Amino acid sequence: MPRVKVRFAPSPTGPLHIGGARSALFNWLYARHTGGSFLVRMEDTDRERSSRESEENILAALRWLGLDWDEGIGAGGPNGPYRQTERLDIYRGYAQQMLDAGLAYHCYCTEEELTAEREALLAKGEMPRYLGRCRNLSPQERARCEAAGRRPVLRFKVPAGQTVVVHDQVRGAVSFDCDGIGDFIIMKSDGIPTYNFAVVVDDHLMGITHVIRAEEHLPNTPRQILLYRALGWPEPEFAHVSLILGADRTKMSKRHGATSIEQYQELGYLPEALVNFLALLGWSPGGEDEVFSPEQLKELFTLDRVAKSPAVFDLEKLNWLNGHYIRQCPLERITDLAIPFLQKAGYITGEITPERYARLKSLVAAVRDYLSNLAEITQHVDIFFAQETPPVDDEARAVLTGEQVPAVLAALREKMVALNELDEETARMILKKLPRELGLGGKKVYMPLRVALTGRTHGPELYQVLPLLGPEKVAGRLARAAGRCS
């Protein structure tokens, strides 16, 4: 069996989409699992919509996800160039070859003629397709079209009466009737190949053994197989993975919220969480575990465990997974990742000294349990940076009305004034002793302190809050709260 070689071939017309990322991931996993290689090329034959910016974007997203490739754009290799617009001569050569061999022909039909034909077929309830009007144009007719300045496209002669069977690795045998296909365009009038043609030429020349892509490409596959046969090339294996759907069960698109990898990155999702989540959309290892590192996924991934039915993108589950990774990953790393979010919110300005970094680590440690993404961190740390922390709601206000409250606040304040520094250990001790010293139940002590210090009835452990604020700020907030309840 030849060494596996797969590819991801996006068109650079926008950022990397969730669905595209999943296709890339499956290809990558398959290559890594089998010890094969992974190639990335750009299908940029749509010159209107393609851009270098999108290309850079897509590649950056792939790198961010940790999907490294062995050959292609940025990695080089013996089969380049890896951008289709830089391979035009190659396609033209094969197009000429097909024309000479009588496998393809020029077509001069205008857009109006084609639209009319399509609509007529649609009206009759038939599969809309090109009926082959230009197949046997006489030299005179050709000359007349040329004289009229019409630029022809090149169409492939689809053999009549055949059935093409796609042997799909995930779907089994799928057959298509050639008579429903119609001669399709392989070269546009501007000399640029169409997708169906370029993809076949490239996959063959680049030695691709397995084409793993989204199910939306399945209807195109018989056309491509016909091209392989016409050119006398062996077909690769095909594997069509089902689509990722939005909550409304239609193909994911912009109106379904965040759909690009970039957006999730900006919201503070971790690449390993996204990879883990995406791997589980349409694939399952079969066991009872749900959390897998990229290494484990590489180990476990096989095509026979890819599901056939489409999968709805469930943000709740992504959130859970991402929160899980945020909680279990090393504190330093999550701190490093959180810093940009804190800077953007204006909570950190200036240089991050070792002392400040240590404090940031405590800060992150105090709130990481609450997060399902890093962007959410800002709404949990405001209590540490605010100037004033008045009670935020009636429940909080009520806590401060207790008659024991002034004494509680005063007691802790007294201890704070005596201190220059405050670490977690000390805070724990002071807090632990407080109820007994005051002769009060814990709740009557801790709740007022919590509200006085944060303005809220919920939040991180008090022994974490105290050191983060420092004795001075704690004392200040206690004083202000005391002022408010008098």
Partner RNA sequence: GGCCCCAUGGUCAAGCGGUCUAAGACACCGCCCUUUCACGGCGGUAACCCGGGUUCGAAUCCCGGUGGGGUCACCA
Residue numbers 260-319 binding RNA by CB under 7 A? 280-284, 286-290, 304-305, 307-312, 314, 316-317, 319
Q: What are phi and psi of 144, to 5 degrees?
A: -65, -40
Task: Note whether 128 binds RNA by CB under 7 A.
Answer: yes
Nearer to RNA, 60 or 121 (CB): 121
Q: Where are the beta strands (DSSP E) in 409-464?
A: none
Q: How far is the CB of 157 from RNA (least distance, A)?
A: 15
Q: How far is the CB of 342 from RNA (least distance, A)?
A: 19
Nearer to RNA, 56 or 343 (CB): 56
Binding mask 213-252 for RNA (x = CB under 7 A): --xxxxxx---------------------xx-x--xxxx-
For residue 179, give the DSSP letter. G
Task: Note whether 461 binds RNA by CB under 7 A.
Answer: yes
CA dihedral 334→337→338→343, nearest 10 degrees, is: 150
Mark 379-398 as b/e (b = at least 16 C-beta within 10 Å). Answer: ebbebbeeeebebeeeebee
**Residues linked to residue 245 through DSSP beta bridges, in sequence order:** 251, 312
Q: Of 25, 104, 192, 474, which one interacts with RNA (CB under 7 A)? A: 192
Q: Which of 5, 188, 251, 254 is catalytic?
A: 254
Nearer to RNA, 159 or 352 (CB): 159
Longest Cα–Cα distance in the chain: 109
For residue 218, give the DSSP letter. G
Q: Of 99, 174, 392, 407, which one interacts with RNA (CB under 7 A)? A: 174
Tokens of 414: 């007294």
Tokens of 48: 């209107």
CB burial class (10 A; 0-12, 13-18, 19+) of residue 221? buried
Q: How far is the CB of 280 from RNA (least distance, A)?
A: 5
Span 393-432, contacts to RNA by CB under 7 A: none
Tokens of 49: 């919509």
254 in catalytic set: yes
Q: What share of the chain is helix, strand, coil (3-state, %, to 5)?
A: 55, 10, 35
**Residues 107 and 155 sit within 8 Å (Cβ to Cβ):** yes
Distance, CA of 47 to CA of 113 (rounded, Å): 24
- Residue 285 sits at the vertex; the CA angle it makes with 279 and 290, to the nearest 5 degrees, is 65
The span of 40-48, 226-234, 266-274, 357-365 binding RNA (CB under 7 A) equals: 40-48
Q: How far is the CB of 75 from RNA (least distance, A)?
A: 19
Nearer to RNA, 254 or 443 (CB): 443
Q: How far is the CB of 65 from RNA (least distance, A)?
A: 18
Compute how many residues bind RNA; rule: CB under 7 A. Answer: 92
Q: Of 56, 68, 177, 299, which one interacts with RNA (CB under 7 A)? A: 177
Nearer to RNA, 72 or 460 (CB): 460
Residue corresponding to tokens 């991180």: 460
Binding mask 43-82 for RNA (x = CB under 7 A): x-xx--x---------------------------------
Residues known to be catalytic: 254
